[in-house]
Amino acid sequence: MWFYSLLLLLLSPLILWKIIGFKRRYPNYRLAQAFGLGSKVEADLWIHCASVGEVLAVRPLVLAWQKKQPTGRLLITTVTPTGAEQVAKSFPQAQHKYLPVDWRFAVMLGLSRIQCPHLWIVETELWPNLLRQAKRQNLTVDVINARLSERSFRQYQRFSLVSKPLMSLPDRFFSHAEDDAQRLKQLGAKQVLVTGNVKFDLTLPYEVIHCAWREQISSSFVWIAASTHEGEDGLFLEAHAQLLKQCPDALLLIVPRHPERFEQVFQQARQCFTKVARRSVDSLTAWSDHAVVVGDSMGELLQYYQASDVAFVAGSMIERGGHNPIEAALLAKPVLVGPHTFNFKDITEQLVTVGGALRCANVAELQEDLNALAANPTNGVLQGQKALAFAQQNQGAVERILSQIDIA
């Protein structure tokens, strides 16, 4: 682990710059907790989620656990302030702390202030010092909703001196699929159970099911580019410019993955279109007067999906690996993806196979698919129903995981 410790030391100035930036942008960020300081906490279950996506991913499992343990005390840690905000919104009864930076002294201080027998880590958010100290304190550590793409597997293999001892520390991994399980075992995981993806068990909130956004948008065709990354936004804006030639009142909702890019994407869209709105500024009824709306809000991705006729799941037009298409499928939206979906390879390929998603190899194919779906809305509805059926057929991960975990 000396190599990891050295690397962490070298990166310390960047880490300090990052957490100080959190404090400047988010006044409620508790900087002291990044160094392991803060009040003591007692809990029956501790769940670590890196940020918003992981908090939302584990929601079905947490709700099921709370139903089984109505008096159970829950602690949720996050790395980011936006993750903390989502915890407060999704689990108002839970205690929250920021995870200490993985410096050894900070982790030791932080864990000395947490009294809890069981730690769930969501989606392979593995920190060496955290895991080592948790095991020294005899915590049971389970990795929930674990996934490991072929690309990540190769990267771990390159640093096997660090990765193999790391993967042997958790007591169990509950993985998405058999391929993930085999890769985890090859890296040294002791026990891996294939339980599926808990996101399939998502219970759609009332405010999403009854979301009235679409009724307030008079555009005949609305599509979303969801969770975009740098290098993709221009491709979606180009595709939308071509779509407007066939469907002049079409509307693009472009939602960047990271909030620090909201302003950048807004300015980029303004270079392409004269009328660009922002969720934080413009009312829903005014969106149809614009060509593009930049979704500059957090925790509303499901509402954006619900308001759309077609959902492009981004991160897949570049070699980022794509994001999870399950939320869009559960909302019965026809799904589009790019060529790079290795982060969710099995789910995406199966969704394409059953006809719930279309793969666009490039911008030209994206334009073609958008034109076809805008011209024939019935085809989009049928594709969305296939996506929903696929999602429903894959539910049950929450029950499978809880049946394996005994928490008094």
Residue 388: closest CA among 397, 380, 400, 399: 380
User: Is the alpha carbon torsion for 255, 259, 260, 266 positive or negative?
Assistant: positive
Question: Using CB atoms within 10 A of its CB, is residue 179 exposed (0-12), middle (13-18) or buried (19+)?
Answer: middle
Give the DSSP letter of residue 227: E
DSSP letters for 288-341: GGSSEEE---SS-HHHHHHT-SEEEE-STTTTT-----HHHHHTTPPEEE-S--
φ/ψ of residue 226, rounded to 5: -100, 130
CA 143 to chain centre: 16
* Set 54, 85, 123, 327: catalytic member: 54
| E strand map for 296-394 | 310-313, 335-337, 357-359
Q: How far is CA 382 from CA 253, 318, 334, 350, in A?
A: 22, 28, 8, 17
The CA distance from 315 to 228, in Å, is 6
CB 340 within 8 A of CB 277: no
Given a contact cutoff of 8 angstroms between Cβ atoms, the answer to whether 204 and 306 are in contact is no
Whether 79 and 102 have beta carbons less than 8 Å apart is answered as: no
The closest alpha carbon to 134, from 151, 149, 152, 114, belongs to 114
54 assigned to active site: yes
Name the helix (H) or strand (E) containing 401: helix 397-404
Residues taking part in catalysis: 54
